[in-house]
Amino acid sequence: MRTIDTIKQIFSIKEISNFAWLSGDKLVKLILGLIVGIWVARYLEPINFGILTFWLTLLGFFEVFASFGTQNVVIKKLVEENNKDQILIGAIALRLILSFFAAIAFGITSLFFNSMDIENIQLFLIFILFFRFSEIFKYFFESVVQSKYAAWSESIALTISGCIKIILILLSENLDLFIIVAVFEASMILILMVYFAKKNFPETKFLNFKKFRLKQTYHLMKESVPFFLASLTVLLYMKIDQIMVGVFLDPIELGYYAVAVKITEVWYFVPLALISSFFPMLIKSFLETDAFKKLISNLFFSLFWISMLASVLTLLLSEKVIILLFGTPYLPSAGLLNLYIFSGVLVGLSTLSDRWYQLNNLSDFIFYKSLCGALTNIVLNYFLIKLFGVWGAAISTVLTLFILVYIFDLFSKKTRPLLLLKVNSLLRFYDFKKIS
């Protein structure tokens, strides 16, 4: 009983409860997304799955423009300032205006990809850009440490849309309907978030247009520019490979490649969760140089070898995993997975490197690294896809991440200590001694 009471007491702390909801929401979305994604991929088969992947990935780039990196700025203002109504309507107005321009740009861009055309159904995706202003409500929930409402909204919508997709798999052969379900999911998230916001925070006027101030909206956009550029560069080096495969090769090749990416991205959750769990400890130990070095060195060691073990196991079981989850038509994905899975080793090391930059007041290097990654990945994909086909995209991703983790830090005196730390941590055994 005492243990149960202690657990209840811990989760009664607002911040811990909020973190639990955020983590749980991500885990639920990951599992549901994987299960439904596998079922949809099996049903659509590689060609149609490649087309679906292309349009959803392309839309992601325009979503970055529509959101414009406002998350951190909006949350900070909502926490620090009293004029919440004014901030919210400014953020919503900015999101809708940018969504309008993003929708036009997406529509024009889609005209250049006739080979991927699916009866102009891509026009339905434009609605997603507008429905995604639901994220402003999510920012509000985070600012008042009530992320459970956003988690509920997204989980309910994802579950319902997942069930609808399963029904479509059983009853329909129309790819267009899967796109329409994605639009329906985005609209449902918006409706649920508005409902929870109105019900639980009646004193906050989310759509009070009388409080709109153009000057404040302009400042919000101006302050968000660095975050927008950072988000865009990260998306470029993480997702541009799928767009370029779709442009240079047949949709079926993108279908094979997308499956290898999807399986690998599931693994990303493990190193990222490990880093998030230990980051508070890194912050506390930062002022004690020896303790900090010991802790972060152990983390680099653990991330590398845990991910390497997972990659080797995947290498041995890839064909069986692909056939079991996605079916025989996706068997060519197994070879791609054998290579792409090693990106998981480097993603964890890259993310932990970003935390080192942050703690050492070198956050600018996070942007420089992302920009370097974006440019490198684009150039490598351009040449290697033409030389090696879809394999070139997998090679480009792994090479780009290797450059970011082990080459990028060479070019500045400020970051060379981090490079030495990463290299040395792999050349010794784990230090099990207690960090004091």
CA distance 265 to 191: 29
CB atoms within 10 A of CB 123: 13
Q: In the numeric block, which tokens belong to residue 394? A: 């997998």
Q: Where are the domains of the chain?
A: 2-212, 251-426
CA torsion sign for 338, 52, 183, 204 is positive
Choose among 274, 292, 273, 268: nearest CA to 282.
292
pLDDT computed for residue 141 by the predictor = 86
Distances (CA, A) of 13 to 6, 17, 27, 278: 11, 6, 21, 19
Give the C-alpha distances (Å, rounded to integers) separating 319 from 128, 153, 235, 330, 387: 35, 37, 29, 9, 25
* Cβ atoms of residues 92 and 136 within 8 Å: yes
- Interatomic CA distance for residues 338 and 436, integer angstroms: 40
Take residue 254 and report the two structure tokens written for it.
């993108």
In tens digits, the chain (436 residues) has pLDDT values of: 554 454 444 444 555 555 565 566 667 777 777 788 888 888 888 998 898 889 889 989 999 999 888 887 888 888 888 788 888 888 888 999 999 999 999 988 888 886 666 656 677 888 888 898 888 888 888 888 787 888 889 889 988 988 888 888 877 656 677 788 888 999 999 999 999 988 888 777 766 677 777 888 888 888 888 888 888 888 888 889 999 999 999 999 999 999 999 999 888 878 877 887 777 788 888 888 788 888 889 899 989 998 999 999 999 999 999 999 999 999 999 999 999 999 989 999 998 998 899 888 888 888 899 899 999 999 999 999 999 999 999 999 999 999 999 999 999 999 999 999 998 888 765 444 443 3
Res 430: pLDDT: 47
pTM equals: 0.82
One-letter-per-residue 3-state SS of the chain: CHHHHHHHHHHHCHHHHHHHHHHHHHHHHHHHHHHHHHHHHHHHHHHHHHHHHHHHHHHHHHHHHHHCCCHHHHHHHHHHCCCHHHHHHHHHHHHHHHHHHHHHHHHHHHCCCHHHCCCCCHHHHHHHHHHHHHHHHHHHHHHCCCCHHHHHHHHHHHHHHHHHHHHHHHHCCCHHHHHHHHHHHHHHHHHHHHHHHHHHCCCCCCCCHHHCCHHHHHHHHHHHHHHHHHHHHHHHHHHHHHHHHHHHCCHHHHHHHHHHHHHHHHHHHHHHHHHHHHHHHHHHHCCCHHHHHHHHHHHHHHHHHHHHHHHHHHHHHHHHHHHHHCCHHHCCHHHHHHHHCCHHHHHHHHHHHHHHHHHCCCCHHHHHHHHHHHHHHHHHHHHHHHHHCHHHHHHHHHHHHHHHHHCHHHHCCCCHHHHHHHHHHHCCCCCCCCCC
pLDDT at 119: 58
